[in-house]
Amino acid sequence: MLNNFRLIIILFCVTATLSCDTGIANSRSPTPVAIATSGPTVGSVLDNDLTVSVPNIIASPYLAISDVVDMIKPVVVSLAVTTNTEQCDFFVGCRTVERHGAGTGVIFDESGLIVTNNHVIDGASRIIVSLSDEFTVRAELVGRDPVTDLAVIRIDGNGYSKAEFGSSDELKVGDWVIAVGNALDLLGGPTVTVGIVGAMDRVVTTEGGTLFNMIQTDAAINPGNSGGPLVNLEGEVVGINTARSGNGEGIGFATSTFTVVPVINSIVENGRVIFPWLGVSVDDVTPLTAAQLNLSVKRGVLVLAVTNNGPAAKAGILSNDIIIGVGDYLVENVKQLQEAVRSYGVGYKTTVIIMRDKEDKIVEVSLEEMPRDF
């Protein structure tokens, strides 16, 4: 989907010139609060002996944006990243050149664990973390996952403030969100932008691959924001800012906590991501695509391609099959397929219900570990 978009994953911002290199580049909206019908009473009594009730002061269940920013700032860090690349010239030959870039991270554990984007730290020879009090410390890589464009780094110490993750499943289109990050590597601390959720569960394609379960927002996301938090009005992190559109206005994307939380948990536990893998490239079936492709179902997951010698291929699943169930799970979209597959462990055998040539077919699949280079 989104084939008309050129997506830019926000990579680095060259600090000396503020020129940006681009390559691959909870919350509920405020609702009216009912005025209480009971409360303190005044002492004056009318002729008919009725007591006048004074309504309670109206209170919002949401924090002011400035209060949310105050909550989130201690867990947002700026990253200064150095990468070494080999540059060859006809006259002087090949030499190693240092490149300096900027990104953002979010502390999610008191021991100094930080989540950021993989493309921010990919190939880094040195990562310097600047905390909210401007104290700087060097970080080391814990693990990374190019498939989801997420990585975990660690800084020495303990007792750090940590972010609270909210459920992205509770987000609704139109909810307010706040993006915080090291935009353009400007001096003076993180930049704060505000917008709404424009869409949920986007599937976007970048130069680094296809990303699923993305939150679309019009909160401005600029170079340097990568790896920073997308926050709801309760101060919870609901996404990690990852990419923006190079063609559209006000279209940015954050990786939802539906993906972020299990990925960082697996990295911390295993040093890498261990997920059960089906071995298919897929897309949502919608009523529109069903009409365009003359499909027999209006909801499901269309198999675009099958990985050679992968679990699906071994089970006989083919391109253009439509997955409508896994085990006991009904599957109507890619997200539900992911949830179903994740519910089983590596090596688990389960049934997959597919629609092929307008007929149901049940196959047995033995789930394997997702290859690290996939």
pLDDT in tens, 240-259: 999 988 777 789 999 999 99
Share of the chain above pLDDT 90, in %: 63
pTM listed for this prediction: 0.77
Mean pLDDT along residues 343-366: 93
Which amino acid, 111? Answer: S
In this prediction, what percent of the chain has a pLDDT beyond 70? 82
Angle at 200 between CA 197 and CA 201, to 5 degrees: 150
| Long-range contacts at 123-127 (CB < 8 A, ≥ 24 apart) | 123/83, 123/84, 123/85, 124/81, 124/82, 124/83, 125/82, 125/83, 125/84, 125/98, 126/81, 126/82, 127/79, 127/80, 127/81, 127/82, 127/153
5-39 tens-digit pLDDT: 445 454 444 333 333 333 333 332 333 333 233 33
What token pair was written down for 265? 């948990």
The Cα 286–Cα 332 span in angstroms is: 9
* Residue 95 pLDDT class (50, 70, 90 cuts): confident
300-321 burial by CB neighbour count: b if 16+ within 10 A, else e? bbbbeebeeebbbbebebeeeb
Average pLDDT over residues 201-206: 86
Q: What b/e string do you get for 67-93 counting C-beta neighbours within 10 Å, with b at 16 or more?
A: ebbebbeebbbbbbbebeeeeeeeeee
Please count the CA atoms within 13 angstroms of the CA of 107 that sit on its side-chain side: 25
Report the DSSP beta bridge partners of residue 329: 326
Least Cα distance to 217 among 236, 189, 245, 237 occurs for 245
Decide if pLDDT at 54 tops 60: no
3 state DSSP class of 318: coil
Q: Measuring CA to CA, which residue among 374, 315, 364, 370 is closest to residue 338?
A: 370
Catalytic residues: 119, 149, 226
Rounded-to-integer distance, Cα 184 and Cα 263, Å? 27
Q: Which helix (H) or strand (E) holds 311?
A: helix 311-315
CA distance 165 to 337: 23
The pLDDT tens digits for 101-138 are 899 999 999 999 999 999 999 989 999 999 998 899 99
- Among 60-69, 209-218, 301-310, the least confident range: 60-69
Looking at residue 89, its pLDDT comes to: 73
pLDDT band at 90 (very low <50, low <70, confident <90, very high): low
Cβ-based neighbour number of residue 220 at 10 Å:
17
List phi, psi (to 5°) of 102.
-130, 150
User: pLDDT tens across 275-320, in order?
Assistant: 999 999 999 999 998 998 888 899 999 999 999 999 999 999 999 9
Please, which pLDDT band fits residue 98 given cuts at 50, 70 and 90?
confident
Query: Tens digits of per-residue pLDDT, 156-192?
Result: 999 999 999 999 999 999 999 999 999 888 887 889 9
* Domains observed in the chain: 1-28+62-274 (2.40.10.120), 276-369 (2.30.42.10)
AA identity, residue 188: G
Q: pLDDT at position 337, please?
A: 94
Residue reference for tokens 């410390």: 137
Per-residue confidence (pLDDT) for residue 93, from 0 to 100: 73
- Residue 323 pairs in a beta bridge with 301, 354
**Over the chain, what is the mean pLDDT?**
83
Please compute the mean of the pLDDT values over residues 335-351 and round it to a whole number: 92
**Residue 5: its pLDDT value, please?**
42
